[in-house]
Structure 1
Amino acid sequence: MVSPNSRSEYESRMHRVLAYIDQHLDQALDLYTLAEVAHFSQFHFHRLFSAWMGETLGDYLRRRRVEVAAMRLAAQPRSTVLNMALSVGFGSAEAFTRAFRNRFGCSPTTWRMQQATQRRANSNPGQVNSKMSQAPATLSAEHVAFRTPNMEAIMNVKLIDRQPVTVAYLRHLGPYGEPISLFWQNTYYPWAVTNKLLERARYGISHDDPSITAAEQCRYDACAEVAPDFVASGGAFKATIPGGRYAVLAFKGGGEQVGEAWAALLRDWLPASGLQLDARPCFEYYPTDAACDPQTGAFECEICIPVVPL
């Protein structure tokens, strides 16, 4: 019989490997290196990974590389296919195109054109802008205003420099949307009560783009900001959200609208910003004073994406 502590240790090590992979997609990720990250023997790691993830290490690496590239293709239209291939660890545009076509059924160039067409068709700037509010004035920031031909309104995005923060988190694996709301209510809330974390700032980390990754493979972390020496328990794990420069868009609305705000930031603002994503995770930040209306389901948060110069 596997003890809960033993299972938690296995899961913690696998989370560490997945985070390492996402942070080093542009590098060679060999079995030896990843086994070292997991603190498992190289001889057994491949089998353990396949059993835990339901796909081989090689299949997982190829999937993550092309899925991250697919998101960047839409968000960084001025980057070449070759540069995109190199940024996720492919040695050539040809190898990248083959892998991309196997996953999405079309070439990277066609995918990018389809995403641009869909973005223009779905553009509803008045609605998106009406759901944005100014972030708390306590965050000093550089305001960036931007306009596209499809947007009559100006979207205000702030560039801020965040410090690294330690979080304790619970992971949800599966579809986003309503299941995430239920996860916060039914899983995170009781855990936060037990650990006296209700008054701490919260973070929601979406590790996958649900428009690209299969719903059953999407990962989401519900996090509470904690002290570095906090001891995680109750199925929780600890991680550090990296510091650095982030583009921040304040959101106010319901769960059905937050996806529109994410799309507006990633698909409309980012391509015209002169910036690009890097390997740090995107997340939603919920300050301690963030409002939430249990009657309507409306809530406030800051959508944060990591950015570096293009």
Structure 2
Amino acid sequence: MQLSKDHIKSINKALNYIEQHLESHLSLEAISKVAHYSPFHFHRIFKAFSNETLHQYIVRKRLEKASAILLRKKDITISELSIRYGFTSNSSFTRAFKKFYGVSPSDFRRQGKGIYSKIRIVKSKIGQPSASFEAYVCDSYQNTKHMPSQIEIKSIAAIHTIGTSCIGVNNLSSTFQNILEWAGPAGLLNQPDFKMATLYYDSFKITAPDKVRMRACLLVDAPLKPDGEMSKGIIHEGKHIIAHHEVHIEAFERVWTELFIHMNNTGYKMRNEPPFEIYHNDFNTHPEKKCLVDLYIPVE
């Protein structure tokens, strides 16, 4: 099925709604109404966009959220998680979890730090680095000798964006290309300091690379009117750990690891907001092929 710009715009609305209501009842009828399509038509376009049925997507997202909590918070019980994410019983939650991860929730919690602790890095095809993000760092990572000197913790003002979502790292390149092709005629690339960013809504620790949801976008001075598949967005104000880097792509794994170590060692906890990176150059034009990039972790 060929998706139109209107289809993608509607899917973006639905994805945002699902993200905000994972702990509530989610039905095909309610979500299709958000997307302004009939349930039958919405189900077709959603599967074409995500390669999953709506039910599969919602169950996966809930299980991934639950798995993240299992690794981070030892005081929450499996019963509490099963209720929070809409499972009818502990046994139904355990069956779904084991089918997805291959182990029970309790075994996942016991084994988690050994198995689900490596940060993986993906190189974007658009000439910009694309880093995967972790909401937590394995306690065994204690080597901070490479900690960057340009790191700060401060509150930022809200940042307006215009862009669109994609699912799967292989789709990030074409998504950025679509944004650039749209932004050129709109005059947004004429500004000498225009910047691009990627927001990550999933952790590569618990989500397969072809399922990770990302938002590719341009930073803008003020909210812009949505246009076709491009929707306005906002990076919320608040406290962030920020690292300023001039590094080769190969160093991204190290600097992201060290940034999360810094968060862990300084006692901060990640807020329920997507981490992101802002690009300041095309590394191919740098004399040493380095990336000028700021990495942001929202914290409380």
Using structure 2 for the length normalisation, give the TM-score: 0.71
Unaligned ranges ≥5, structure 1: 124-146
Residue of structure 1 in register with 2:214 after alignment:
220
- The residue type paired with residue 289 of structure 2 is G
Q: Secondary structure at the match of 1:200?
A: coil
Which amino acid in 2 is paired with 1:284? E
Question: 2: CA distance between counterparts of 1:61 and 1:221?
Answer: 18
Alignment of 1:165-204 (within 5 A): 165-175=159-169, 180=172, 184=176, 187-198=178-189, 199-204=193-198
Question: Is the CA contact (8 Å cut-off) linking 2:164 and 2:175 kept in structure 1?
Answer: no
Offset of 1:104 from its aligned partner? 1.1
User: Offset at 1:11?
Assistant: 1.0
In structure 2, the CA distance between the partners of 1:90 and 1:103, relative to structure 1 (3 Å rule), is: same
After TM superposition, give the deviation of residue 29 of structure 1 in Å.
2.0
Match of 1:297 among 289, 296, 299: 289
* Aligned counterpart, 2:76: 80
2:113 partner SS = helix
Change (3 A) 1:273 1:34: farther
- Report 1:254-273 matches (<5 A): 254-266=248-260, 268-272=261-265
Higher helix fraction (1 or 2): 1
SS at structure 2 position matched to 1:217: coil
Alpha-carbon distance in 1 for matches of 2:283, 2:54: 43
Structure 2 counterpart of 1:17: 14
Counterpart code for 2:188: L
Q: Are 1:81 and 1:109, in contact at CA under 8 Å, matched by a contact in 2?
A: no
Letter of the 2:36 partner, please give it: H
**Cα deviation 1:246-299 (Å, max 9, x = unaligned):** 333334323333234334444x3445554444442221123xxx3554254321
Q: CA distance change for structure 1 residues 52 and 87 in 2, over 3 Å: closer, same or farther? A: same
RMSD of aligned C-alpha atoms?
3.8
**Cα distance change of structure 1 residues 150 and 281 upon mapping to structure 2, 3 Å threshold:** closer
8 Å Cα contact 1:169-1:237 kept in structure 2: yes
SS at match of 1:240: strand
SS at match of 1:194: coil
| Cα displacement (A) at 1:195 | 3.2
Taking every aligned residue pair, what percent have the same amino acid on both sides? 26
> Could you tell me how far 1:38 is from its partner in structure 2?
1.5
Counterpart for residue 38 of structure 1: 35
Distance 1:71 1:220 in 2: 18
Aligned in 2, Cα 1:11/1:26: closer, same or farther, shift over 3 Å?
A: same
TM (normalized to structure 1)? 0.69
* Structure 2 residues not aligned, in runs of 5+: 120-138
Query: What is the deviation of 1:232?
Result: 4.8
Please name the residue that 1:307 is paired with: 299
Instruction: Report what 1:281 is aligned to.
Output: 274
Quote the residue 1:65 is aligned against: 62
